[in-house]
Amino acid sequence: NAGVTQTPKFRVLKTGQSMTLLCAQDMNHEYMYWYRQDPGMGLRLIHYSVGEGTTAKGEVPDGYNVSRLKKQNFLLGLESAAPSQTSVYFCASIPADSGNTIYFGEGSWLTVV
Amino acid sequence: ILNVEQSPQSLHVQEGDSTNFTCSFPSSNFYALHWYRWETAKSPEALFVMTLNGDEKKKGRISATLNTKEGYSYLYIKGSQPEDSATYLCAFFRLTGGGNKLTFGTGTQLKVEL
């Protein structure tokens, strides 16, 4: 997983609090993704970005916002956290040629109480 | 929303058994199909990246095939071992003018018992 760093790795939030997860990659990848992983549901796409300054909604975007002001960073924001957002969040990046391997961060464990 | 389906959802086998799983995906605008091995609380581990119809890849006891025309890929494990217990995910990458998404299936959870 060299090259993709997620911060923070663990966080406990109270309902209604806000926070931002940072995904940083140093491989000059164009595409970056935020997923959430819940038991029995695999990885579900929240938002993604195909380049600096562009973002798009995935399967489960509600309650989240993202920004990609710099190519190497993809931020995932929770404006008003809800218990349903308790999950493990994974960031991934990939170069434009998707024949290459997807690079994942190590995950961020978020609990909303 | 693209549908990437994996079956079965879960599988219990005995040590030494051979097994296989299926990943189904839309056959249009295909670009690449990835297979990952994923253990809980860890990042997914790459197994294969497949791009051409008819591709066959092998890594030790694990192999995979790809049929892009009919939209499926099979993952095979020969002589399953307890350390093979994990969730196996496939991911479909499709290039379209409307945006490029990497969509994961929900995974097949494999449990190998002694």
Average pLDDT value over all residues in chain B: 89
Would the CB atoms of B105 and A48 count as touching at under 8 Å? no
pLDDT-based confidence at A2, cuts 50/70/90? Answer: low
Distance from the Cα of B3 to chain A's closest Cα (Å) equals 11
| Percent with pLDDT over 90 in chain B | 63
Would the CB atoms of A40 and B106 count as touching at under 8 Å? yes
- So what's the pLDDT on residue A63? 96
B24 contacts chain A (CB < 8 A): no
Kindly write down the DSSP assignment for every residue of A13-49, as one continuous string. Answer: E-TT--EEEEEEESS--SEEEEEEE-TTS-EEEEEEE
Q: Is A40 left (phi over 0), alpha (psi -120 to 50) or beta?
A: left
Testing the interface with B: which of A10, A43, A62 to mutate, by most B Cβ within 10 A?
A43
Distance (Å) of CA B14 to CA A2, B46, B108: 35, 24, 16
pLDDT digits (tens, 9 = 90+) for A12-29: 999 999 999 999 999 999
Let me know the angle formed at the C-alpha of A94 by B40 and A22, rounded to the nearest 5 degrees. Answer: 65
Tell me the mean pLDDT in the region B11-24: 96
Distance CA A73, CA B9 (A): 34
Distance CA B114, CA B112 (A): 7
Tell me the mean pLDDT in the region B60-64: 97
Distance CA A33, CA A56 (A): 10
- So what's the pLDDT on residue B111? 95
Q: Which chain A residues are closer than 8 Å to B100 by Cβ?
A: 31, 50, 98
Cis check: omega of the bond before B26, within 30 degrees of 0: no
Distance from the Cα of B80 to chain A's closest Cα (Å) equals 22
Q: Which chain A residues are closer than 8 Å to B99 by Cβ?
A: 48, 50, 56
Would the CB atoms of B46 and A102 count as touching at under 8 Å? yes
Residue with tokens 């961020």: A108
Distance from the Cα of B8 to chain A's closest Cα (Å) equals 12
- Given a cut of 70, whether residue B1 has pLDDT beyond it is no
- So what's the pLDDT on residue A61? 96
CB atoms within 10 A of CB B14: 10
| Percent with pLDDT over 70 in chain A | 95
Residues A46 and A75 sit within 8 Å (Cβ to Cβ): no
- So what's the pLDDT on residue A98? 60
pLDDT digits (tens, 9 = 90+) for B77-109: 999 999 999 999 999 888 766 556 778 888 999
The lowest-confidence range among A4-8, A62-66, B31-35 is B31-35
